[in-house]
Amino acid sequence: MKDTNRIWFLMGKELSHSITLEEEEELRALLASEPELWYSYELIQAVYQMDDVTQEYVQEIKSLLDNRIEPERLNLILLTKLEETDRQVQPVPPSKYRSLYRFAAVFAGIAVLSLATWLIFKPAVVKEPAIVAMQEIVAPKGARKHITLADGTTVWLNAGSKLSYPADFSLAKREVYLSGEAYFKVVHHDEYNFIVHTAEADIKDLGTTFNVKAYEGSSKTETTLIEGALEVSLRKDPAKKMLMVPREKLVLQHKQPTLAKEVKVFEVSTIVPFEKTNDIVETAWVENKLIFRNERFESLALMMERRYNVSIIIKDKTIKEYQLTGIFKNENLTQALKLLQVIAPFKFKINNEQVVIYK
């Protein structure tokens, strides 16, 4: 039997930023077994983080939760929030969220106990600049994710990637933050740009379908433009920028050499489809294909680690430098390694989630 009260208790601790790692894991496990409660929790978080709450949003929450608490009580709390928002002219301190703390407590159906919990775990009010609430989407190793943002833009996240964006993401505020690789199909708007921020570059959409590869720890950021137009600029030096046209690939090396003469900040090349299938190498992962052309084995191993959720150790320096070309789609890890053995001399051992490659 599901411990619903326990879920609400843990939700309260998380929203008040006092939850432990063990409790957070417990909350995720409980919510996974209760999809309706998971969605309810997302709504609670959204209301908690927003400055303006629409009447439609109130009705959505109310219709979902009518059977869990007294509807009139929920209505009163949320409408009070709406009235407070309407009266605001200047930004208000964090105390404006007190009604939402009460909302979460009453919502739990254990008013006295939960209210006491909120009072215990509620952080002290500190007059500091407001922190922008962020949503985060993660595609773990061994998996990909496909999401649609509020403006209609579709995003495919490759394995081992993270996409963050403001909780109040809207047409007028279209900025996302990427660590990893993502394929974007942006809904263009003449007045509002769509911007992708990576650790080293800002990529501004000018009506676009494109791919960005910027994994943490990588020595370069790659942007591949399929259609439309892009403007790519350096985060540390915004004056340095490049306008891209379709079927171009731009590579930004993170560490620029220190030379007396001017060096190329951006390396631009033309996209060349994989000759055997006519796939675009840089975006084939969206179709669950791993295509590599003259790729160093050491670099290919990193791609395979993300694709198969394993750790790959190459014991021999000569093997790391092998130049490999090929394509994987439905092959499992063992099959992929055996295919590589056809074109490169090496041996391998698989021990749980670790692969050792040797001569």
Rg (CA), the chain: 25
Count Cβ atoms below 10 Å from residue 112 Cβ, excluding itself.
Answer: 8
- Per-domain boundaries in the chain: 3-84, 134-270, 288-358
Yes or no: say if 55 and 86 are a contact pair by the CB < 8 Å rule.
Answer: no
From first to last of the 359 residues of the chain, give the pLDDT tens digit: 455 667 777 776 766 667 788 888 887 777 766 554 554 555 565 555 554 545 555 455 545 444 444 434 444 454 555 455 555 544 444 433 444 443 443 344 333 333 333 334 445 454 555 566 889 999 999 999 999 998 899 999 999 999 999 988 888 889 999 999 999 999 888 888 999 999 999 999 887 899 999 999 898 999 999 999 999 999 989 999 999 999 999 999 887 655 544 556 789 999 988 877 889 999 999 999 999 988 999 999 999 999 999 999 999 999 999 999 889 988 999 999 999 998 889 999 999 899 999 99
Q: Of 241, 248, 207, which Cα lies nearest the Cα of 226?
A: 248
pTM here?
0.62
Burial of 63 (0-12, 13-18, 19+ CB in 10 A): exposed
Q: How many other CB atoms are found less than 10 A from the CB of residue 282?
A: 21
- Paired residues of 184 in beta bridges: 155, 210
Fold of 134-270: Jelly Rolls (2.60.120)
Indicate the SS3 state at residue 70. Answer: coil
Which structure tokens are listed for 174?
A: 């279209």
Q: What is the Cα–Cα distance from 242 to 240, expressed in whole angstroms?
A: 7
Query: Are the C-beta atoms of 222 and 213 separated by less than 8 Å?
Result: yes
- What CA dihedral angle connects 167, 223, 303 and 263, to 10 degrees? -120
Residue with tokens 């279209």: 174
Is 158 within 8 Å of 147 (Cβ atoms)? no
| Tokens 């070309």 -> residue | 325
Structure token digits, residue 265: 């900040």
CATH 1.20.1260.10 holds for 288-358: no
